[in-house]
C-alpha cells in the first residue's frame, strides 16, 4: 500500500484553492505589510515551523521552505502561495491534540493574516533565503539566524519573545560559558521555572557549527548579566 506524504499532497491540492481565493478576493484590495508579517510569523508560527528567511527552526509543524519549494520551482506565484497560506490558516485540520499534524484555529486573523500570508508568499521556498544582516557581530547574527528572538527576550538584540525564558533574567551573574552552551544544546536538562520541556529544539548541537556555537555562547555571555560586560571566556 502506498503511503501518502503527510503534508505535501494536501498542500499541492490547496494550490488550486489558493488561486481561487485570490481571484475571488480580487487583486490589490488589501494592503499587506510584509515586515510586520515577518514579526508576526516569528511570534505566532516560528515555534512550530522552520523558515529560512525568518530564522525559525520549529519542528512541530512542516518546514515551510520544503513545503513550498516545489510549488515555487514549478512556477507558482507568490500570490498563489499567499492564497494557500490563507486557506490553510482559515481552515486548519481538525485539532487532534497533536501539534505535529494540526494547527490551532485562528492563530492569526484579519490584517495579521494578510501580513503573514503576504510575507510567506514573498519568502517561503525561495532558494538561498536568509535572515537580514544584524549588528552586534557574528554571535548576534547566529542569534537572529536561528530565530532565538522569536522565543526569547534579550535587550541587546531587541528581542521580545515570550515562549522561552527572558535571557536577561535567567543568565545571571556567574553563569559560565559551559552552562550557556549546555542550555543551547541540551535545553531540557535544566528547565527554567514556569516553562515546559520539549519546546526549544534540541538539535542546535547538530545545526550549528562549532564556531557558530562558540560565537552564540560568547554573545550571550557578553550581553547578559552572566558576563557583566566581560569578553574573556570563563576559566581562561
pLDDT in tens, the chain (236 residues): 444 444 444 454 444 444 444 433 444 446 899 988 998 898 788 878 999 999 888 888 899 999 999 999 999 999 999 999 999 999 887 766 665 567 888 899 999 999 999 999 999 999 999 888 999 999 999 998 888 888 899 999 999 988 899 999 999 999 999 999 999 999 999 999 999 898 888 888 888 899 999 999 999 999 999 997 565 554 43
Look at the block and give the residue holding cell 481538525: 94
CA nearest to 99, candidates 174, 142, 49: 49
- CATH architecture label of 138-222: Orthogonal Bundle (1.10)
Distance (Å, whole) CA 219 – CA 136: 8
pTM (2 d.p.): 0.60
Domain at 8-123, CATH from 3.40.1700, 3.30.1150, 1.10.760, 1.10.3470: 1.10.760
Distance (Å, whole) CA 71 – CA 78: 10
Q: What is the DSSP letter of 1?
A: -
Q: Do domains 8-123 and 138-222 have the same CATH topology?
A: yes
Burial (CB < 10 A; 0-12, 13-18, 19+), residue 103, is middle
96 grid coordinates = 487532534
Q: What is the DSSP letter of 159?
A: E
**For the chain, what is the radius of gyration of the CA atoms?**
19
What ranges do the domains of the chain cover? 8-123, 138-222
Amino acid at each position: 500500500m502506498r503511503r501518502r506524504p503527510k503534508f505535501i499532497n494536501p498542500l499541492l491540492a490547496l494550490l488550486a484553492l489558493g488561486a481561487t481565493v485570490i481571484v475571488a478576493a480580487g487583486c490589490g484590495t488589501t494592503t499587506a505589510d510584509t515586515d510586520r508579517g515577518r514579526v508576526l510569523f516569528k511570534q505566532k508560527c516560528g515555534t512550530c515551523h522552520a523558515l529560512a528567511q525568518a530564522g525559525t527552526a520549529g519542528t512541530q509543524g512542516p518546514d515551510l521552505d520544503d513545503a513550498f519549494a516545489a510549488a515555487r520551482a514549478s512556477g507558482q506565484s507568490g500570490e498563489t502561495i499567499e492564497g494557500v497560506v490563507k486557506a490553510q490558516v482559515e481552515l486548519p485540520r481538525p485539532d487532534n491534540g497533536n501539534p505535529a499534524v494540526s494547527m490551532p484555529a485562528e492563530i492569526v486573523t484579519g490584517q495579521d493574516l494578510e501580513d503573514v500570508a503576504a510575507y510567506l508568499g514573498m519568502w517561503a521556498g525561495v532558494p538561498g533565503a536568509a535572515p537580514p544582516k544584524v549588528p552586534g557581530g557574528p554571535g548576534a547574527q547566529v542569534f537572529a539566524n536561528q530565530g532565538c528572538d522569536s522565543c526569547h527576550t534579550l535587550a541587546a538584540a531587541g528581542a521580545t519573545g515570550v515562549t522561552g525564558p527572558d535571557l536577561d533574567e535567567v543568565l545571571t551573574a556567574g553563569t559560565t560559558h559551559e552552562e550557556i552552551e549546555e542550555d543551547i544544546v541540551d535545553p531540557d536538562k535544566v528547565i527554567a521555572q514556569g516553562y515546559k520541556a520539549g519546546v526549544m529544539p534540541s538539535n542546535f548541537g547538530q545545526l550549528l557549527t562549532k564556531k557558530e556555537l562558540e560565537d552564540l555562547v560568547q554573545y550571550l555571555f557578553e550581553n547578559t548579566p552572566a558576563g557583566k560586560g566581560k569578553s574573556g571566556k570563563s576559566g581562561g
